[in-house]
Amino acid sequence: MEIDWSNLGFGYIKTDYNIRCTYKDGAWGDLEIHESEYLSLHMAATVLHYGQTSFEGLKAYRGQDDKIRIFRMRDNALRMQDSSYGTMMAKMPVEKFEEAVLKAVQLNVKFVPPYESGATLYIRPVLFGSGPQVGVKPATEYTFIIFVTPVGPYFKGGFQTTPFVIMREYDRSAPLGMGKYKVGGNYAASLVAGQRAHELGYSNIFYLDAKEKKYIDECGAANFFGIKNNTYITPKSSSILPSITNKSLMVLAQEMGLNVEQRQVAVEELASFEEAGACGTAAVISPIQRIDDFDEKKSYIFSPDGKPGLISDKLYHKLIGIQYGDEPDTHGWVTVL
């Protein structure tokens, strides 16, 4: 089987093995290696009825030195534990999670794309209630799976800006709700809004806080940041997902001599940003060309010429440099396979 690395999209491609682990009778079992992409599931499993499920997303990068690096997997393990807390699922121990990630990449090492392609191996851990329940109660049995699939570079024609849109008729999550957890239901709840934004020609929708509709939450499944007066500003909110990419960019911004502020960002403040971006594992940074306020019929333009801003560009290249091993890993973020 030949994969055309440079023409890969962000889709599912079968790889050789997946790793699984089951929690029952109050304890996690051993990690198991599976070849099948299918599983046999009880029809009353809580994941199917009550959405008791969470997922993670991280990547393995092949460097110029041919070594394979995995970025901040411990943070993904900890975030998955938070999601377990939020949905009353069994917590996957951090060490076991890390061991499963390493095993999944090792066993599928031939699917880690070559350095030059810009493609990566996407790692998808998923945890769900697999035990039967009919009343609304947490399951007593859980299944954890990690599969991997090679994905193409996010920016096919190089690092580029795209437009986003604010539409107040959609919320992603409530202030005291589940937005801070990476749980399945949040993404089902975002599909209509995302589809609508795509149909209108936008990259994704910009969510405002659901209670007051005054502050910026996040954009699609990515965090938001803006740059002005040598400051990196990112929203503080109880309803956004704490992005590991954003957390990393805040550290790098500080090291570059920028001030970093994590605070409420009112919609009108968009007018004062010199640069703006969406950040997450998939794209690292997706620089924002403009944000159209659909309801108020106005636009916030960050990049009249369509080019990413200088600071966004610098942050982007610094972070991917660390991920690929071209830059030194001074924070212990990278695990070399």
Secondary structure class of 124 (helix, strand, coil)? strand
Our finding on whether 223 is near ligand PLP (CB under 6 A) is yes
**Residue 303 sits in the site that holds ligand PLP (CB under 6 A):** no
- Binding-site member from 52, 81, 120, 245 for ligand PLP (CB under 6 A): 245
User: Which DSSP state fits 79?
Assistant: H
63/248 Cα distance (integer angstroms): 19
Integer angstrom CA distances of residue 156 from 9, 40, 283: 9, 37, 11
Cβ-based nearer residue to ligand PLP, 3 or 251: 251
- Taking the C-alpha atoms of residue 2 and residue 265, their distance in angstroms, rounded to an integer, is 47
Catalytic status, residue 24: no
Q: How far is the CB of 238 from ligand PLP (least distance, A)?
A: 13
The secondary structure of residue 85, as a DSSP letter, is H
With a CB cutoff of 8 Å and minimum separation 6, the contacts of 34 are 17, 18, 19, 20
Which one-letter DSSP state was computed for residue 28? E
CA distance linking residue 37 with residue 45, whole number of Å: 18
| Nearer to ligand PLP among residue 220 and residue 309 (C-beta) | 220
Least Cβ distance, residue 304 to ligand PLP (angstroms): 27
- 280 lines the binding site for ligand PLP (CB under 6 A): yes
CA distance 87 to 178: 9
Q: Which stretch binds ligand PLP (CB under 6 A): 13-21, 63-71, 96-104, 237-245?
A: 237-245
Beta carbon nearer to ligand PLP, 59 or 62: 59
Of the residues 96, 182, 214, 318, which is catalytic? 182
**194 in contact with ligand PLP (CB under 6 A):** no
Q: How far is the CB of 162 from ligand PLP (least distance, A)?
A: 16
Q: Is position 258 an interface residue for ligand PLP (rule: CB under 6 A)?
A: no
The answer to whether residue 113 forms part of the interface with ligand PLP (CB under 6 A) is no
- Does residue 249 touch ligand PLP according to CB under 6 A? no
281 interacts with ligand PLP by CB under 6 A: yes
By CB under 6 A, is residue 208 in contact with ligand PLP?
A: no
- Contact map string, positions 47 to 66, toward ligand PLP, x by CB under 6 A: ----------x---------
By the rule CB under 6 A, 185 interacts with ligand PLP: no
Helices (H), the chain: 46-50, 73-87, 94-107, 184-188, 191-199, 244-255, 310-324
| Residue span binding ligand PLP (CB under 6 A) among the ranges 138-146, 238-246, 297-305, 308-316 | 238-246
Minimum distance of ligand PLP from residue 221's CB (angstroms) = 4
Check residue 133 for interaction with ligand PLP (CB under 6 A): no
Q: Rounded CA gap, 46 and 129, in Å? A: 5
Place of tokens 């007051």: 212
The DSSP symbol for 6 reads G
Q: How far is CA 265 from CA 45, 79, 215, 313, in A?
A: 40, 24, 5, 22
Give the span between the Cα atoms of 69 and 67, in whole angstroms. Answer: 7
Q: Mind telling me the catalytic residues?
A: 182
Residues that bind ligand PLP (CB under 6 A): 57, 182, 218, 221-223, 241, 243-246, 280-281
